[in-house]
Structure 1
Amino acid sequence: MKVAVLDINGKETGRKVDLSDSVFAIEPNNHAVYLDVKQYLANQRQGTHKAKERAEISGSTRKIKKQKGTGTARAGSIKSGVFKGGGRMFGPRPRNYSFKLNKNLKRLARKSALTIKASEESIVVIEDLNFDSAKTKNFTSVLKALDLQDKKSLFVLGALNNNVYLSSRNLKGSEVLLNSELSTYKILNANKVVLLESSLEGIESNLSK
């Protein structure tokens, strides 16, 4: 698949790059995508929720009324969950929501996500960015040139560039990450995936294993 390379002003450079069909043009596996996104979202959960149960709240342990003869249900403790102020029955407890997926499935999910974006023409390839300083206006000018000001965008770098990363950090709709940090969720969550030229080799080598 041939894709034109743009400069930081959004103009074509006259060059084209070849995106590997084994990464950007496979038969998407929707179930693999579902599992990888599910794992990503599960890993974001802190799992610190907790409700007090009857053994953990303050209250008398006295039997509140006699067992028989009242015409109502028997009751042994004011801390029972059926009474106001009682403990929560079967309440949430701290737990770990994460689960494991094998590497091949995660690789397939990422390739499927990139294929989906490529089929929607939502992948843009640009020259490498290199700012002299970390200023938000530098990154904003790039977004404006690519017509991405009001869209969710994901910029993928080939190597760590602090000036580019820090310039984008204040912009809510844009995210910058390394090719090794690419995830199915982030690919699908973006309206446009912007690949820097230097990131292509790493993406293809990571996902072609």
Structure 2
Amino acid sequence: MKVAVLDINGKDTGRQVDLSNEVFAIEPNNHAVYLDVKQYLANQRQGTHKSKERAEISGSTRKIKKQKGTGTARAGSIKSGVFKGGGRMFGPRPRNYSFKLNKNVKRLARKSAFSIKANDKSIVVLEDFNFESPKTKNFTAVLKALELENKKSLFVLGATNNNVYLSSRNIKGSEVVTSSELSTYKIMNANRIILVESALEGIESNLSK
């Protein structure tokens, strides 16, 4: 798959790169994408939710009324969940929501996500760039040149670049990651994927296995 390489001004450099069909042009597996996104979101959950049950409520333990003859239901404790101030029945308890996923499934999910975005013409290849110092206005200028203002965008770098990362940090909707930090969720969540040339080799070598 041939894709034109743009510069940070949004201009065509006259060069093209060949995106691997094994990564960017496979038949997407929607279930693998679903599983990987589900795992990512599950791993974000703290699982610290807790409510007090009847055994943890402070209150009298005496039987509040006689067993028979009142014309109402039997009741043995004021701490029962049916009474105001009682413990919660079947309330949430701390738990771990994470689950394991096969590496091959995760790899298939990321390739499927890239293929979906490539099919939607949502992938842009950008030549390598850097800023002399971290400045938000520099990154804003790049977004404007690429017509990415008010759009969710994911910039994928070949290696860590603090100047670019810090310049993007205050801009809502834009995220900068390295090729090793990619996830299916981040790919699917973005409206446009901007791949820096130096990131292509790492992406294709990791996902072509």
> Which bin holds the TM-score, normalised by the shorter protein?
over 0.9
Q: Which residue of 1 aligns with 2:130?
A: 130
Q: Is 1:164 aligned with 2:147?
A: no
Task: Indicate the residue corresponding to 1:2 in structure 2.
Answer: 2
Please give the alpha-carbon distance, in whole angstroms, between the structure 2 residues aligned to 1:150 and 1:128: 23
Counterpart residue identity of residue 140, structure 2 = T
Stretches of structure 2 lacking an aligned partner (at least 5 in a row): none
Provide the C-alpha distance between the structure 1 equivalents of 2:91 and 2:115, rounded to a whole number of angstroms: 42
CA distance in 2: counterparts of 1:129 and 1:183, whole angstroms: 23
Q: Percent identity?
A: 86
Q: In the alignment, does 2:74 pair up with 1:74?
A: yes
Aligned match of 1:33: 33
Paired residues for 1:27-176 under 5 Å: 27-176=27-176
SS at match of 1:55: helix
The runs of at least 4 consecutive aligned structure 1 residues that moved more than 3 Å come to: none
Instruction: Write the deviation string for residues 47-79 of structure 1: whole angstroms up to 9, x where unpaired.
Output: 111110001111111110111111111111000
Describe the SS at the equivalent of 1:143: helix
Q: Does 1:182 align with 2:199?
A: no
Question: How many Å apart are 1:150 and its aligned residue?
Answer: 0.9
Distance in 1 (alpha carbons) for counterparts of 2:129 and 2:64: 73
Deviation at 1:200? 0.1
SS of corresponding position for 2:175: strand
Cα deviation, residue 120, structure 1: 0.3
Aligned to 1:198, the other structure's residue is in SS state helix
1:142 alignment partner AA: V
What SS does the aligned partner of 2:56 have? Answer: coil
Q: How far 1:4 moved relative to its partner?
A: 0.3
Quote the residue 1:12 is aligned against. Answer: 12
Q: C-alpha separation between the residues in 1 aligned to 2:138 and 2:95?
A: 43
The C-alpha deviation readout for 1:184-209, integer Å capped at 9, x for no partner, is 11101100000000000000000011
Aligned with 1:148: secondary structure?
coil
Tell me, in whole angstroms, the C-alpha distance in 2 between the residues paired with 1:129 and 1:30: 34
Give the distance between the partners of 2:177 and 2:106, measured in 1 at CA: 18
Question: What's the offset of the Cα at 1:129?
Answer: 1.9
Q: How many residues align?
A: 209
> Given the two structures, how large is their TM-score scaled by the length of structure 2?
0.99
Q: How far apart in 1 are the matches of 2:150 and 2:69?
A: 71
Letter of the structure 1 residue corresponding to residue 205 of structure 2: S
Q: One-letter code of the match for 1:115?
A: S
- Once residues 40 and 149 of structure 2 are traced to their aligned partners in structure 1, the CA distance between those partners, rounded to angstroms, is 26
Q: Could you tell me which residue of structure 2 aligns to residue 199 of structure 1?
A: 199
Structure 2 residue 208 is the aligned partner of structure 1 residue 208: yes
Q: TM-score if structure 1 supplies the norm length? A: 0.99
